[in-house]
């Protein structure tokens, strides 16, 4: 219990709640003060106005001044009205004020002054609000009122404020505690879920409430991040599994072949055959390992140093030309549609060639004899679109997004030899260059791969060659 | 045959390379560390140096730069286990004449060393004649004996490359790099298909073969008896 309390006291939410409680108490104080100030000012002004009217009325009628003052005094039974009529020499002619209050100007305005009042118990000194005006005969008329009423309002208000502050502080503090512990509870659930994730349960997700507040949004964002992490890990795992699996197959064959040859081979020729076969299988595994490493290397973008401007049209033509004999041997016609004239793009010429070679190789491989492969390069404004279409079985819509993944082989591809790394390499190369690569359907139902390459503009080339040296430029 | 220096720190790898190169008749010396390699490289004239990129004591590229800085022009081939492809550029920039990434096929290494040792003397020559083969690079024509050959531009380049290295084994990777001028390892049968076409054109009239496959390695052009 004490642990939980001390944890609560240390928590940021509690401190926020406490801060908010203090702030709201301060706000209440300020509000009270303002209300008090306004009320007191109103009362004071009202009293002053009454006094001003009264003294003016008395001064305007010098003959009736005495009577008016007496009436004013008699008007209030609680002896809070004061007044006096004083002669030119300052001698009192009427009223309950012993003398003209010192320091009171006879300008008809109300002021707070000290005065001596005559009561049944003798004269007493008190603070009063008073006004004075001169009489035509050189005398003065004074009208006053005691300050007790205003003072009482002030005392009451201040007492109410100080008494009210304690429960207000307590209440806001309590409210803060409640809010803090509620926030704590929500966070505790989140923390518990995160601890599970940390311990390795990546399928665990944070609880998301229904309020759609900051907590919920944060939890949802974290959940989305966890989804992505889980997906990536799954991909890494499946790539790892695929590598291990694809390595094991040729290695198992190799082992069996070596073992059998050791027991059974009787001539040098037979042993040599076994070794040749073994070497072929080892080459196959090495090629795969190299391809995996290359994809990783390209994905990490370490080849940007090799970027330069080159003619894409030549690369497309030469890539198609490289595969022409292979396609012809397979009974596949290989058409090339590249407009004359250079198409400058910026990138790694060898890698772009390799990507194209992989696309054309795939297309030729999956096209049955009698079919055709079309390699094209079209220019659309600032871009050049490379396309490779075939008349093969095509790639079903749901599988299109997955073909660029490492080790993925679309179902119809299963019986065809290959390690499932070709398109992964294409995707990695396109990714390194920032060329969007897509797969769709060709007119005849076959696969159509496209790669969109921004043309190298002369301005871009000048900029690079001119002032600022390219960050990636080779030293 | 040739006097070679191998600078390689891994004893097992070195043993395989030494065994293979000695088996091909070369006189090969071995240095296991960078400083030792640098000392031996300076100590005697070599026909070619094969050195590993990563060496204890002294990095292979630094060693090479030092040699080149001292005016040593001995052909050098850099071996590297680093998978970074930019490494090749760095290797060549440091003064390497060729670059081979590990793991490699021993025959590929041997073929590349041969290529370094026997660089074609005069590549400006435009009229080549090997046995009964004859090509004119300016006219873009080829003949076998008295028969005109109908060659595509790429086939002519391919034939030129083989003729300039007649009697030498060239690997598929070397061919692809030098004839197509792209740097990556294509599927092995791709180059074979191109070679097969060229071969058929050269032997179309029943002539004896001039281009021979070397199993598991590549190809070699062996001159025939001469013009008939």
Q: Residue B67: give its domain's CATH number.
A: 3.40.50.2300
Higher pLDDT, B185 or B117: B117
- Do B131 and B217 share a domain, yes or no? yes
Complex ipTM above 0.85? no
Radius of gyration of chain A (CA): 49
The C-alpha atoms of residue A194 and residue A204 are separated, in whole angstroms, by 8
B141 and B61: one domain?
no
Same domain, B90 and B26: yes
d(CA A339, CA B184): 26
Extended beta strands in A96-215, E state: 111-119, 122-134, 140-146
pLDDT value, residue B19: 93
B206 in contact with chain A, both atoms CB, cutoff 8 A: no
Residue B73, Cβ density class (10 Å: 0-12 exposed, 13-18 middle, ≥19 buried) = exposed
| B122 within some domain | no
The answer to whether A326 contacts chain B (CB < 8 Å) is yes
CATH number for region A214-299: 1.10.287
The mean predicted confidence, pLDDT, of chain B is 87
- pTM score: 0.64
> Phi and psi dihedrals of A182, rounded to 5?
-65, -45
Q: With contact defined as beta carbons under 8 Å apart, do A294 and A263 qualify?
A: no
Mean pLDDT of all residues in B138-150? 90
Q: Do B190 and A326 touch (CB under 8 A)?
A: yes
pLDDT score for A384: 93
Domain membership flag for residue B15: yes
Q: Say yes or no: B25 and B98 in one domain.
A: yes
What is the least distance, in Å, from the CA of A450 to any CA of chain B?
21
The DSSP-derived string for A67-90 is: HHHHHHHHT-TTS-EEEEEE-TTS
The answer to whether residue B29 sits within a structural domain is: yes
Domain closes at, from B57, B86, B117: B117
DSSP A247-264: HHHHHHHHHHHHHHHHHH
CATH number of the domain within which B213 lies: 1.10.10.10
Domain ranges of chain A: 1-202, 214-299, 304-465
What are the pLDDT digits (tens) for B71-130?
A: 888 999 999 876 556 677 777 778 888 888 888 888 889 988 988 888 766 667 888 889
Residue A342: CA atoms inside 13 Å, Cβ hemisphere, count? Answer: 9
φ, ψ of residue B45 to 5 degrees: the values are -75, 135
Of the candidates B117, B148, B171, which is a domain's last residue? Answer: B117
Eight-state DSSP code of residue A304? G
In a domain, B227, yes or no: no
**Regions of chain A where pLDDT drops below 70:** 1-2, 4, 8-9, 301-306, 406-420, 458-475
Residues B100 and B161 in one domain: no
List the 85-104 stretch of B: residues with Cβ below 8 A of A.
85-86, 89, 103
CB-CB under 8 Å, A361 with B187: yes
Between A293, A296, A350, which is nearest B182 by CB? Answer: A350
Fold topology of A304-465: Heat Shock Protein 90 (3.30.565)
Domain boundary among B117, B139, B172: B117
pLDDT at A15: 79
Least Cα separation, residue B14 to chain A (angstroms): 20
- Cβ distance B85 to A306 less than 8 Å, yes or no, reads yes
Question: How is residue B137 annotated by DSSP?
Answer: T
Q: B113 and B137 in one domain?
A: no
- Residues A354, B197: C-beta atoms closer than 8 Å: no
Across the interface, whether the CB atoms of B89 and A474 are under 8 A apart is answered yes
Tokens matching residue B89: 């550029």
Beta A333-338 vs A140-146: how paired, if at all? unpaired
> Higher confidence at residue B143 or residue A296?
B143
* Residues B132 and B104 grouped into a single domain: no
Shared domain check, B152 and B112: no
Partner A contacted by B68 (CB < 8 A):
no
Question: Which is nearest to B104 in space by CA: B124, B122, B78, B66?
Answer: B78
Count of other CB atoms within 10 angstroms of residue B50:
26
Answer yes or no: do B20 and B64 share one domain: yes
- Structurally, how many domains does chain B consist of? 2
Same domain, B201 and B98: no
Query: Which residue among B89, B103, B186 places its CB closest to the CB of A357?
Result: B186
Q: So what's the pLDDT on residue A2?
A: 64
Note the pLDDT tens digit of each residue in B8-33: 999 999 999 999 999 999 999 999 99
- Among the residues of A265-348, which ranges form H helices? 268-299, 312-329
Which pLDDT score is estimated for B15? 93
The verdict on residue B136 lying in a domain is yes
Residues B180 and B112 in one domain: no
Domain that holds residue B200: 127-221
C-alpha pair distances (Å), B217 with each of A471, B89, B212, B214:
41, 25, 11, 6
Q: Do B197 and B101 have their domain in common?
A: no
């Amino acid at each position: 219990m004490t642990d939980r309390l001390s944890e609560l006291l240390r928590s940021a939410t509690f401190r926020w709640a406490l801060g908010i409680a203090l702030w709201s108490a301060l706000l209440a104080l300020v509000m009270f003060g303002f209300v008090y100030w306004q009320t007191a000012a109103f009362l004071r002004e009202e009293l002053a106005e009454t006094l001003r009217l009264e003294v003016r009325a008395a001064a305007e009628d010098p003959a009736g001044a005495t009577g008016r003052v007496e009436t004013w005094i008699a008007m209030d039974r609680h002896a809070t009205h004061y007044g006096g009529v004083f002669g030119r020499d300052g001698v009192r002619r009427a009223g309950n004020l012993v003398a003209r209050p010192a320091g009171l100007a006879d300008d008809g305005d109300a002021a707070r002054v000290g005065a001596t009042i005559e009561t049944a118990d003798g004269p007493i000194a008190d603070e009063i609000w008073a006004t004075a005006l001169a009489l035509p005969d050189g005398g003065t008329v004074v009208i006053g009122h005691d300050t007790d009423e205003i003072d009482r309002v002030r005392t009451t208000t201040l007492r109410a404020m100080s008494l009210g502050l304690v429960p207000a502080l307590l209440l806001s503090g309590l409210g803060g505690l409640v809010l803090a512990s509620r926030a704590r509870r929500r966070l505790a659930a989140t923390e518990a879920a995160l601890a599970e994730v940390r311990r390795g349960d990546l399928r665990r997700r944070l609880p998301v409430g229904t309020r759609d507040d900051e907590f919920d949004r944060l939890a949802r964002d974290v959940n989305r991040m966890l989804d992505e992490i889980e997906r990536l890990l799954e991909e890494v795992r499946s790539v790892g599994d695929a590598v291990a699996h694809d390595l094991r197959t040729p290695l198992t064959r190799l082992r069996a072949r070596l073992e059998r040859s050791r027991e059974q081979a009787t001539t040098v020729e037979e042993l040599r055959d076994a070794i040749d076969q073994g070497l072929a299988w080892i080459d196959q595994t090495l090629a795969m390992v190299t391809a995996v490493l290359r994809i990783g290397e390209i994905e990490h973008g370490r080849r940007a140093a090799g970027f330069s401007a080159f003619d894409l049209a030549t690369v497309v033509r030469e890539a198609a030309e490289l595969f022409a004999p292979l396609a012809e041997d397979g009974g596949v016609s290989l058409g090339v549609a590249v407009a004359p004239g250079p198409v400058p793009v910026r990138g790694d010429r060898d890698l772009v060639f390799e990507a194209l070679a992989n696309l054309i190789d795939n297309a030729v491989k999956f096209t049955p004899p009698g079919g055709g492969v079309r390699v094209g390069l079209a220019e659309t404004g600032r871009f050049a679109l490379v396309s490779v279409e075939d008349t093969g079985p095509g790639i079903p819509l749901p599988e299109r997004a997955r073909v660029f993944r490492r080790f993925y082989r679309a179902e119809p591809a299963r019986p065809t030899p290959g390690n499932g790394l070709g398109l992964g390499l294409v995707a990695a190369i396109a990714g390194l260059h920032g060329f969007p690569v897509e797969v769709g359907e060709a007119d005849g139902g076959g696969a159509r791969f496209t790669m969109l390459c921004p043309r190298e503009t002369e301005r871009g080339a000048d900029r690079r060659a001119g002032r600022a040296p390219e960050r990636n430029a080779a030293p | 045959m040739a006097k070679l220096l191998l600078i390689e720190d891994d004893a097992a790898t070195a043993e395989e390379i030494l065994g293979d190169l000695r088996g091909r008749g070369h006189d090969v010396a071995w240095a296991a560390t960078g400083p030792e390699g640098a000392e031996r490289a300076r100590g005697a004239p070599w026909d070619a140096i094969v050195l590993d990129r990563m060496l204890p004591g002294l990095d292979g590229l630094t060693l090479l730069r030092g040699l080149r800085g001292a005016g040593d022009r001995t052909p050098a081939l850099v071996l590297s286990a680093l998978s970074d492809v930019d490494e090749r550029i760095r290797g060549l920039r440091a003064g390497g004449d060729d670059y081979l990434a590990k793991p490699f096929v021993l025959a590929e290494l041997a073929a590349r060393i041969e290529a370094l040792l026997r660089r074609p003397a005069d590549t400006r020559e435009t009229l080549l004649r090997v046995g009964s083969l004859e090509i004119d690079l300016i006219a873009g024509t080829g003949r076998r004996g008295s028969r005109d050959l109908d060659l595509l531009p790429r086939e002519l380049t391919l034939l030129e490359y083989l003729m300039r290295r007649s009697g030498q084994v060239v690997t598929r990777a070397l061919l692809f790099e030098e004839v197509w001028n792209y740097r990556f390892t294509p599927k092995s049968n791709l180059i074979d298909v191109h070679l097969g076409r060229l071969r058929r054109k050269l032997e179309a009239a029943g002539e004896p073969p001039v281009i021979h496959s070397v199993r598991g390695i590549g190809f070699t052009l062996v001159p025939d008896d001469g013009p008939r």
